[in-house]
Amino acid sequence: MASYAYALRSLNTGKGGTPLSLFYLSTVAFLRDSSSTASFQQSSSTQRSVSILPQETLDGLCNASCFAAQLLYVVRQSPCLAILDLGQVIVNTNIGLELLSSVLSTIGTLKSLKLWVYSDYIAPKEVLKTLVYSFPDLLESFSLLYAPNCRALKPEAWDKTSSELKDSVSQQLIPTVERTEPLIHMSDWRLIVTGDDYIPAEVSVPFFKLFPELTSMDVPEIDNTDTNYLRSVAFRILETCPKLKHLSKRDIQADEEGRMMFAFLEQMEENTLESLQFLQYTEELQSLVWGLEFHNESVKSVILDECQSMSASSIAWIFHQCPALEVFRISMNFDSEFEIPLDMLISQEWASTKFKELKLYVQLEEEQEELGEEDFVFSDPMPQWTIGLERFYRQIGVLTQLRILDLRVAVERGSRDGDGDGDGDYITYKDKTFPGLLTLENRAIGRVGWLQLLGGLKNLEELHGSFNLATMIPGSEFGQDEADWMVEHWPKLKFIELFTLPEGTSILYTPPVLSMIARLPGLKLYSLYIDVHYPWQ
């Protein structure tokens, strides 16, 4: 990396457990001994002056494993650096924080900055304030995760060195100056603070006046349950950031109920929200439908990661009332408490046919789960159990823009395969298979199937979920006809899940499956080994 530092445009140090000072050790050693004449070019945009430390001081900091000093060695040789993702930065002194912000402010070409800052001694509001005032003018995206220092990470070595080095750096650094000019390129703001120390609204809200072009943000975590106060905070931010249209809530430490998210949904102008992402949403406080009622005509993406609880009627409302919807993704964790009955989901036609990504957990009726070979024999009229499934598959089949489809069978916890009493909660088992979805109808031999209903999904790239060839019902297996059909109708398919087996089991690919691999360049077949302790994954 050091050899090509002059051409570096993107640097991602990852999220591993190695302190960043060790990551840069060999790079810095190379650059300090290099005869390279590559020069550090400042951006043409206006930059506040930054004190350039004397070489002796800089060398002393590097020898003491000061990360900010080591970073400076790299970035001053990288005049093209635009994306910087710093995995684990330990900041335990004000001098270290100021030096880091000074270094970041010199990267005039920087457009995306992501930091994971760990500290024992500096409050998150001080970290945020110092970093914001050091933002280079071209910055478009900022993400900060602040956490108390992990015990596994050693503090900066230079904390223990002589006070002379600290005094020298302190005297030479220019104090952080409060920024007054707006960052007209800033469009994306991400902030998560873990631990017990939160950033109060009076500190964070004034920053947003610097970002008039902001379109996407994590809603701030305000440690306050007063609804009127939260509405006032949302109103003040929206006044200075009128172009906001993408909201996310990823911090689960404070405001677990998502009150701040609902305050934003209420205060935004109607039908201006385009995407919403919620981590561990619970419907105990109020229904998400209440907030989306103001934006059902505009919302394009709803993502509920590790959803805790949600009523089936709320999920059905989203599908029936949001005509612009392109992405819907819902996922469970081990203590989720919700279900999506198939009959409720298909009680009306879905409002949107624009879906590009769809992830659903579907609860099948008992007769749809416990089918036998005789159930897949074509008859007239068709059995009652086929009606709901066929309507569901037809609804999927009209989503002609779909690229990612993730369907998972949900069964009652404790009643797997019908043995044992359930406890009323639903979880997904990937070793299930949606009845008839991977089977072609063949009236000549009297076979029931609905794969042919998905012929319009020409853009499908990924198929995930409960599709296990090993559990298909005899007489409705995945054969050569199905493989030929997929190759013809899903030419863009790159990923498909077809096997779910206990760990250590070898997979024997059938000739039809091998023929798909041979004819669809780049196709990957995913083989998931189930863990009996975590079957919902």
Per-residue confidence in pLDDT tens, the chain, 537 aa: 555 555 666 767 655 444 444 444 455 555 555 544 334 344 343 343 344 677 788 788 877 777 788 888 777 777 788 898 887 788 888 888 888 888 898 888 999 999 988 888 889 999 999 999 889 999 999 999 998 866 555 556 555 566 777 777 877 777 767 788 999 999 999 999 988 888 889 999 999 999 999 999 999 988 788 899 999 999 999 999 999 999 999 877 767 778 899 999 999 999 999 999 999 898 876 788 999 999 999 999 999 998 888 889 999 999 999 999 999 999 887 778 888 888 999 999 999 999 999 999 888 876 566 666 666 676 767 767 778 889 999 999 999 999 999 998 887 655 444 444 444 555 556 667 888 889 898 888 778 889 999 999 999 999 988 888 877 777 778 899 999 999 999 999 999 988 877 666 777 888 999 999 999 988 988 766 555 444 444
User: Of 158, 181, 204, which closes a domain?
Assistant: 181
Does the residue 293 lie in any domain?
A: no
- Is residue 467 helix, strand or coil? coil
- Report d(CA 226, CA 385) in Å as an integer: 50
User: Of 129, 156, 181, which closes a domain?
Assistant: 181
pLDDT value for 461: 96
Q: How far is CA 41 from CA 6, 45, 108, 163, 229, in A?
A: 10, 12, 8, 33, 46
Strand partners for 409: 362
- Is the bond into 381 cis (omega within 30 degrees of 0)? yes
Does the residue 358 lie in any domain?
A: no
Taking Cα atoms as reference points, which of 2, 157, 17 lies closest to residue 87? 17
Backbone phi, psi, residue 462, to 5°: -140, 135
pTM of the model: 0.85
pLDDT value for 19: 41
User: Of 154, 181, 208, which closes a domain?
Assistant: 181
pLDDT value for 497: 86
Does the residue 73 lie in any domain?
A: yes
pLDDT value for 23: 44
Strand partners for 302: 276, 328
pLDDT value for 106: 85
- Is residue 528 helix, strand or coil? strand
Residue 452 CA from chain centroid, whole number: 33
- Amino acid identity at 35: S
Does the residue 485 lie in any domain?
A: yes
Strand partners for 246: 216, 275
The conformational region for residue 258 under phi > 0 = left, psi -120 to 50 = alpha, else beta, is left
C-beta separation of 468 from 433 below 8 A: yes
* Cβ burial, residue 75 (10 Å; 0-12/13-18/19+): buried
Taking Cα atoms as reference points, which of 328, 339, 296, 467 lies closest to residue 399? 328
User: What residues have CB less than 8 Å from 171, skipping those under 6 apart?
Assistant: none
- Report d(CA 356, CA 392) in Å as an integer: 17
Taking Cα atoms as reference points, which of 483, 355, 361 lies closest to residue 413? 361
Instruction: Provide the domain limits for residue 150.
Output: 52-181
- Helices and strands in the chain: count of H runs, count of E runs: 17, 16
Does the residue 519 lie in any domain?
A: yes
- Report d(CA 66, CA 34) in Å as an integer: 20
C-beta separation of 356 from 400 below 8 A: no
Does the residue 72 lie in any domain?
A: yes
Q: What is the pairing mode between strands 112-119 and 83-90? A: parallel
- Report d(CA 381, CA 331) in Å as an integer: 37
- Report d(CA 192, CA 246) in Å as an integer: 16
Taking Cα atoms as reference points, which of 44, 158, 151, 143 lies closest to residue 95? 158
The conformational region for residue 60 under phi > 0 = left, psi -120 to 50 = alpha, else beta, is alpha
Taking Cα atoms as reference points, which of 310, 284, 302 lies closest to residue 356? 302
- Report d(CA 360, CA 240) in Å as an integer: 37
- Report d(CA 33, CA 53) in Å as an integer: 18
Strand partners for 141: 112, 188
pLDDT value for 507: 78
Other residues' Cβ atoms within 10 Å of the Cβ of residue 242: 12
- Is residue 286 helix, strand or coil? coil
- Report d(CA 77, CA 395) in Å as an integer: 55
Other residues' Cβ atoms within 10 Å of the Cβ of residue 473: 16
pLDDT value for 5: 58
pLDDT value for 17: 41
Does the residue 265 lie in any domain?
A: no
Taking Cα atoms as reference points, which of 384, 399, 486, 404 lies closest to residue 437? 486
- Amino acid identity at 420: G
C-beta separation of 449 from 463 below 8 A: no
Q: What is the pairing mode between strands 404-412 and 426-428? A: antiparallel
Does the residue 247 lie in any domain?
A: no
Q: Say how many CA atoms lie within 13 Å of 101 toward its Cβ.
A: 25
**DSSP characters over 154-168:** PPPGGGGS-HHHHHH
- Number of structural domains (the chain) is 2
pLDDT value for 30: 53
